Structure 1
Amino acid sequence: MRRGSGFAEKDRMAAQNVADALVAHGTGRAVYLSGIVPPVEHGEPSEHITSRLEVEKILSTTPATVLTLRAAVLMGSGSTSFEIIRQVSERMPVQTVPTWMNSDVQPIAVVDAVTALVGALTAEVGSRSYDIGGPDRLPYGDLLDRYAVMAGVPRRTSSVTCCPTTTR
């Protein structure tokens, strides 16, 4: 996810550049590490999810076999998801946990994601996507708690339930 406005256009341009390079160089396979595309119950997918899907679509317009590996939370230094977890845990000794954090995530270690990427290079399959994750599914708030315990960071949480406002 890129900060600021215009990230979808930048993603689109980058994907088209890669697609053009795949065609120009006759590359037979591309592996794209993306993010999980959750099922959408209400309304349309978010702008970020729409952009992820658009990148997959652009890459798939080439003759190359395109394998997309979709990961929810990459756990390891340098991962944006991991750095957010680390920063929230270390900088906010008291953390409110909004209801959206009750949704389950399936974190995957960076080393395991790299292993999946390497395996995708030689997998005998056609173009398609795979969701990748570690062995544990847990609510996002529990993942924050688990990180804090493992990092030795004291942290308190408080659940927050948002209520619809009423007008008179």
Structure 2
Amino acid sequence: MGIYFEMFITFFKIGCLAFGGGYAVIAILQKEVVEIKQWVTNDELTDIMAISQTLPGIIFVNSATMIGYRKKGLLGACVATVTSCMPTFLLILILTFVIWGFTDNPIVHKAFTGILLGVTALIINSVKKTWQTAVKHYTDVILALLSAGLMLFTNINVVLVLLFLAALGFAKNLYFLTVGGKQNESH
């Protein structure tokens, strides 16, 4: 029961700090579940985040579900999923009753602007950490720039871009495995 309570506390805490959505929460997830709890490795978290982005739903909840399943199976996935949703549900419930009438207030508006700036910093930090984990070869830089270009400058669906990049990444790795293996045999 201890691990489930630990998962409950961890994902509830992360959910309370997950302003800005999935991309902003990557750094917090990395710190909590990789560095502190060691429930998954950095490479596994990178894979989990990539899969979570391609699935429907909230990236953080998808990631929490996969981490919970990885750690404690179906019950772990259920605990992580419900717990990761709780803070948002409670906050929205409170905001609906308390703050809804104050959204035009300049002080409230400035507070939300400050939160957005903080979220921007979290996203930049997440990009840096993901880059360090994912980019291992110059071809990875090319694929990253290609995907960024497709998402920024076209109207192609993100899922299609990710599937296209997954196919290119698979082909690239297959090529290097076959060509690299043949080059090693000749030496």
TM-score by length of 1: 0.29
The structure that is strand-richer by fraction is: 1
TM-score by length of 2: 0.27
The structure that is helix-richer by fraction is: 2
Which one has the largest radius of gyration? 2
